Chains A and B, each alone.
Chain A
Amino acid sequence: MAEVHIIGQVVGASKFPSKSLFCKWSLHTGGGWKLISGLKEGQTQVDNPVYDEITHWSHPIDVHYSTKGVQGWPKIHVQVYHYDQFGRSELYGYGFCFIPTTPGSHTIECCTWRPVGSWRDEFMQYFLGGGPQLRAPDVIYTGNDRYRLQTQTMGSVHFQLGIILRNFHKFGIET
């Protein structure tokens, strides 16, 4: 049985409109995967950098999966929220990316996006904050029905991940 270790951290975020951010992350896999140990989801603290342009979270990820097939390779999903001075949190971006399939150390940049509403929504958002969110988060996971979705480019989330693969070669899988 092939095993995957994902060890690393959510380093931080950059290029977002404001810097006081926090992030929810979770790992998603297909059916043939089994979580052996570790936490597959988490939420970071709110970081408000004073000098830097980059928000740093340094949130640890240490997960051990075992699998019986390659299909459904783990994906990491992030939701970035902005936490403002009044204590409100608004959505700043959804992001999704694959865990690299090669062993070794990887720096990953996950681009994020945010759904955009109508003119009225944007007008309200400008003055009141908040903003549209996805009612069904499945849209992010599947990626098939996104066609009608209007989105806006947001910043990116950075990961530093070490991947250790075990027994893949034994089953004829070239990674």
Chain B
Amino acid sequence: MPAETECDASTGIYRCNDISAFKFRVHVRRTVEASDLEQDVEDDKQEEQLFSWQQRVFSPREVSVYSDLNNCISPLHKNYHKQIIETDRNTNNSKNILFSYLLPDILDLRLERDILLLENKITTNQKELGKGNGTPQLPQTSNYLSSDNLSGHSVEKSVSRYELMYIMADVGYLVEGEGNEQILVVMKWDSLLKVLSVFPDFNNNTSGAGYSLEGFSGACNQYVFWIVPESSHFERKKLQNHKLSEQCVFSPDDVLLPRHGVMNVHVFGEIRGARYFDLENIFVRYHLELPNGWSCQTADDSSGITQQAKILDGFANLNHLFEMTLTYNNTSSSDDGKEQKPELSEAFPKLFFDVVGLDSWGRVGREGCSWARVPPISGQHYFHLQCWRPMENLSMSSTNMLKRYFIGGTPHLANMSFNGIPESFQGGRLSKFGVKEIATGELEICLNIILHSQTSSHLSEDLSQSTFLDRFPALSLLQSVNIALKAFLWARKRIQTAITIE
């Protein structure tokens, strides 16, 4: 096996859409340095074999084992027996070093190892009891079969997405008469991502440096091998273009999807700055107000305070970033939606901003407030929010000004939600008549919005004309119907199997 510490042996990852026509050559040659010690029949031993994808090539050991039908226990082995008999008639080439293992063989090997362990256990037990007659016995057939089914099933289920192919070499069998199998190449094809990974990576040609094969019991035999994709089927150039870096390939299971019927709204916001405010130092407090059906994943992020910024040329840079992940649960809100539900885009959370001034004496006073609704459209949004503060009376009387100048502080709203649409408001017409206020300044914020839901990922092609929000409720409904259908089919299948067993 190529040593994994070897620097030039790396996993190659290729994107290819059709694997069935894929062929590659593996070339093995014994290096010359070791030739003075050799006691073999042939002098310069080398072998080249053309493999096509998922082609099973048998080793000499397997040929000799499986050609006898008595050795074949499982249906897989019997199948191999058939294949070997057929190929034997055509060609008599049973001295190859190279052969291949496929997924069932790898599963089988694991099984074999398990059985061997079991066997050892049994024989030792027998010896202890004094009843052992020396011949190891296979464990009970029923036991074995059940374990076969079990392990085969479970492993297959977990790796059904993948096709595996091991290119093996067995030099020891021909030279020393005993098997010494080594893995040369491990190939894995991911049918979902259409990605082939090869360890070690393909060589350019067989004349360059190859991978050395180490770890054979006969240390005098040094082998070098190359693996080259067959040019006629798999153009080298094309392959190079499609080579991916290893980190780039993630399985889609890794992607964090929101639950079904749930929409995540990611808000990446920035409070950029404030302008036109009277006082020298200002800072901004902000908080988020969530309507029914909404929640914030990280509660800490839903409010915050910026640093105190000094105004220069009428502008104060705040440059405060915040990140929020808001979750809208469609199913929960539809359950208690007896009253008329507002449009989803209308019921987005609101951000309230409160600009606070700080004068040179350390007196704090609210300088203005404003609000912005989280936009229901993904993308980058800039807001220039006009701020205002309430006044005691409308006249710009000198007493007011003097009071503010000397005592500091200003009247402020008891309930911040009055700033936008008050919480207690019901009815058709909102009137704020009678509230006296004065415009103070402007707040500049920027919100980056990303909408994320499961529904848009599957069925969006035909509905690309409509906006995300238009189709979100309909699609989540459709999906819940689909889920119910699936559950029903599954239950029916269970019932049917139960009936047949009875």
Contact = CB atoms under 8 A, between A and B. Distances in A.
Nearest to A116: B310
A153 B320 contact: no
Given A1-B250, A172-B454, A98 B448 contact: yes
Contacts of A170: 457
A66 B273 contact: no
A7 B146 CA distance: 57
Contact of A171 (B257, B268, B318): B257
Contacts of B458: 172
Contacts of B61: none
A102 B309 contact: no
Interface residues of A, number: 48
Contacts of A97: 270, 319, 321
B268 A66 contact: no
Interface stretch (B92-100, B172-180, B300-308, B339-347): B300-308
B308 A150 contact: yes
A29 to B, nearest CB: 12
Interface stretch (A55-63, A79-87, A123-131, A140-148): A140-148
A152 B280 CA distance: 10
Given A113-B317, A171-B257, A153 B273 contact: yes
Given A98-B270, A146-B320, A153-B273, A173 B452 contact: yes
Given A34-B247, A37-B245, A172-B257, A98 B266 contact: no
Contacts of B450: 70, 73, 101, 173-175
A32 B254 CA distance: 10
A101 B320 CA distance: 18
A146 to B, nearest CB: 4
B322 interface: yes
A3 B380 CA distance: 19
B311 interface: yes
Nearest to B246: A36
Contacts of A101: 266, 268, 378-380, 448-450
Contact of B379 (A98, A146, A175): A175
A151 B308 contact: yes
A146 B250 contact: no
B325 interface: yes
Interface string B372-399: 0000001110000000000000000000
A69 interface: yes
A12 B247 CA distance: 33
A72 B451 CA distance: 15
- Interface range, B side: 35 or more
B283 interface: yes
A163 B320 CA distance: 22
Contacts of A147: 283, 305-307
B360 to A, nearest CB: 11
Given A73-B448, A151-B307, A111 B460 contact: no
A24 interface: no
B269 to A, nearest CB: 8
A165 to B, nearest CB: 10
B197 to A, nearest CB: 15
Interface string A86-125: 0000000011111011100010001111001000000000
Contacts of B310: 116, 150-153
Interface of B: 245, 247-252, 254-258, 264, 266, 268, 270, 272-273, 281, 283, 300, 304-313, 315-323, 325, 378-380, 446, 448-458, 460, 468
Q: 5 closest pairs, A vs B, by CB?
A: A172-B457, A1-B250, A146-B307, A149-B307, A111-B317
Interface of A: 1-3, 32, 34, 36-37, 66, 68-73, 75, 94-98, 100-102, 106, 110-113, 116, 143-144, 146-154, 156, 169-175
